[in-house]
Amino acid sequence: MTEELKKGLEGVLVAESSLSYIDGDEGKLVYRGYTIDDLAENASFEEVVYMLWHGELPNRDELSEFKAAMAEERHIDDGVQRLVRDLAEADEEPMAALRTIVSELSAYDPDADADPTDEAANLRKGRRITAKIPTALAAFARIRDGNDPVDPREDLDHAANFLYMLNGEEPDDVLADTFDMALVLHADHGLNASTFSATVTASTLADLHSAITSAVGTLSGSLHGGANQDVMEMLKEVDASDKDPLQWVQDAIEEGRRVPGFGHRVYNVKDPRAKILSKKSKALGEAGDMKWYDYSVAVEDFLTDEKGLAPNVDFYSASTYYQMGIPVDIYTPIFAMSRVGGWIAHVLEQYEDNRLIRPRARYVGPDDRSVPSLEER
């Protein structure tokens, strides 16, 4: 009996998880029983990460302790700082730089030699990775622009501290809250490609840094994490043209171009994260320039009405980040800065009940060949 081939593992169940659930028909995303709408409105990124790692939302004392512990880990070692500078001055692509930086962090981690399945050590390593990625990313972005890095502050929340290190000034509450919400929205999303990559690596009993490095490499592809950058490049192209957005998108489709930020392997309706971010994009536009939001709505309306396509999270994160003054080519590293919380949670879950992930492929090559001599080839 021929086994059914599932290309891309589509529809294949490979694990059980208590971390997040997606209802693609209803447009629903849940972290550990809490809807993304509830969390985005009522929980900070630190609270969400704590919940993903520990199973429950923290109480006041647990949150205070967790935030303090995270803040203490924000500084990066001199060797990592030198690497960040070298990568920035070499004009390395940001996701490639982040992949290398995450790997380098292991050289300075006090728990680097711990057993890969040591949960306490992994929680400490996870805390360091999560806390140091924003510092390294902000330093990379500033150095390549000819500016000095800004040291992290321990008195700011995770989101506000990143914006402070990136721009050199403390963000106002609106920007800090908007960015924090964006981090919450991106923190986990089931067994997506990068999360699966992390769990595959962890299933070999490789260490946490190796698993997260695998995930960063997987996220770098345009079919996964790179779409939000592509969306913003598209919106800038619309702005630079002499066409209205509706005409631009009609022409693009006639030319056979793929419009980024639409469609999803799981969602059959509008991504619930896109609904939340569209409101944030509109609010930022009302306080500044509405054109980016207006362009986005025009493109969405046409593709939804004419093609039955719904936007995913990347579509509105693009205009939201752009209006916050974030450089376009670090959108995907920011995605990683958030999703690392989910990656670590899934790796911890994998280690708890580990089995080596080893699928098979159907062989379709030639049969019954004999090796000819060199003279006969």
Catalytic annotation, pick one of 118, 224, 294, 329: 224
Residue 187 and residue 339 in contact, taking contact as beta carbons nearer than 8 Å: yes
Catalytic annotation, pick one of 186, 189, 314, 346: 314
pTM: predicted TM-score of the whole model, two decimal places: 0.94
Does the active-site annotation cover 75? no
| C-alpha span between 183 and 336 (Å, rounded) | 10
Instruction: Count, in order, helices (H) and strands (E) of the chain.
Output: 16, 3
Catalytic annotation, pick one of 158, 189, 209, 264: 264
Q: What is the pLDDT of residue 306?
A: 85
How does pLDDT run across 312-327, given as a tens digit for each residue?
888 899 999 999 999 9
| C-alpha span between 365 and 117 (Å, rounded) | 39
Q: What is the pLDDT of residue 1?
A: 53
For every residue of 44-71, DSSP letters joined together read -HHHHHHHHHHSS---HHHHHHHHHHHH
| C-alpha span between 41 and 177 (Å, rounded) | 10
How does pLDDT run across 30-80, given as a tens digit for each residue?
999 999 999 999 999 999 999 999 999 999 999 999 999 999 999 999 999
Pick from 144, 169, 18, 15: which is nearest to 86 by CA? 144
Q: Can you give the pLDDT of all 377 residues of the chain as single tens digits? A: 567 888 878 878 888 999 999 998 888 999 999 999 999 999 999 999 999 999 999 999 999 999 999 999 999 999 999 999 999 999 999 999 999 999 999 999 999 999 999 999 999 999 999 999 999 999 999 999 999 999 999 999 999 999 999 999 999 999 999 999 999 999 999 999 999 999 999 999 999 999 999 999 999 987 888 788 889 999 999 999 988 888 998 998 889 888 888 877 677 778 899 999 999 999 999 998 999 999 999 999 988 888 888 888 888 999 999 999 999 999 999 999 999 999 999 999 999 999 999 998 889 999 999 999 999 99
Question: What CATH topology corresponds to 227-323?
Answer: Cytochrome p450-Terp; domain 2 (1.10.230)
Type of residue found at 326: I
Does the active-site annotation cover 173? no
Does the active-site annotation cover 264? yes
